[in-house]
Structure 1
């Protein structure tokens, strides 16, 4: 059985993962409107991944006999001024999510909740990958600067990304 502190913290993370999905969907729309289908597809897949993370936590709460309590999801921003601004916000957001996952791990360790610690390790590893991937995109966007031909090439490259296999979800 999951303890109340861990249950509450995981519920907050479910909300945070839904916000991440919505934020990335908003970015997907903005990038598509700007005629950058590759960047847009990259963000669409990011949004889908965040939703999968949400459901992974949601199902874990249920599996541990917890109580799912969904909170309000804030409206994401919009109206970015450049691809650089979008990529920078994604990097900052992923760093924030990493901090949230680390806080969950701190609670699990403090509560001696070894099942939660094992469960959260997947997210710790995932965040290392996420920060690396989005950091790479930001570095490339910075390198490109105002070179539209290079931006076109990066857009085509990002459009080649395929969805990762969905994590196993308990029913």
Structure 2
């Protein structure tokens, strides 16, 4: 069964949103790099890689279902930050936006009775739950420990230990 125009349209748009996420998180990493917080920069560089993986997995899904993705321009992030908590809060807000977008993709697939796409999107729904939890945890940690130089140093060191784990297969 071929994917409907509605499903391919929202999935193609989601690719752009995932690539924008990577672009946005790159600016967060740059902010922390400029501040000398290499652990926080590392956290967001890994986010960049994960968001790119999410886009590429959606691309592969479309290609495997006989639809050629159409790449759109990626908007320029326009956020500036006054403190170390601000990127973390912006990150949570963005993850909530992406969650809503994934839910919309799911609703479109459901409306089209596209069970295969719904199954694929189940992975993204679960992933977004994890992304929002991580974002909230980062905010909590910053609020608890970030105002103290030693606490911020320890938190930054902890975030330096995060490692990238490549998406090894298309989420299904």
Instruction: Specify the TM-score bucket, using the shorter chain as the normaliser.
Output: over 0.9
Using the size of structure 1 for normalisation, the TM-score is 0.95
Q: Match of 2:53? A: 52
What is the CA deviation profile of residues 8-56 of structure 1, one whole-angstrom value per residue up to 9, with x for unaligned ones? 1011000000000000011111111110000000000000000000000
Q: Match of 1:39? A: 40
Please tell me whether residue 70 in structure 1 is matched to residue 71 in structure 2. yes
Please tell me whether residue 3 in structure 1 is matched to residue 4 in structure 2. yes
Equivalent residues in 2 for 1:12-161 (5 A)? 12-161=13-162
Q: Structure 1 residues 45 and 145, CA, compared in 2 at 3 Å: closer, same or farther?
A: closer
State the alpha-carbon separation in 2 of the partners of residues 78 and 111 from structure 1: 37
Unaligned runs of 5+ in 1: none
State the alpha-carbon separation in 2 of the partners of residues 80 and 8 from structure 1: 34
Other structure's SS at 1:82 match: coil
Shift of 1:82: 1.4
Using the size of structure 2 for normalisation, the TM-score is 0.95
Other structure's SS at 1:109 match: helix
Other structure's SS at 1:83 match: coil
State the alpha-carbon separation in 2 of the partners of residues 21 and 49 from structure 1: 8
State the alpha-carbon separation in 2 of the partners of residues 57 and 130 from structure 1: 17
Of stretches 86-95 and 68-77 in structure 1, the one that deviates more from structure 2 is 68-77
Unaligned runs of 5+ in 2: none
State the alpha-carbon separation in 1 of the partners of residues 93 and 86 from structure 2: 11
CA RMSD of aligned residues (A): 1.4
Task: State the aligned residue count.
Answer: 170
User: Is this contact kept in 2: 1:42–1:161, CA < 8 A?
Assistant: yes
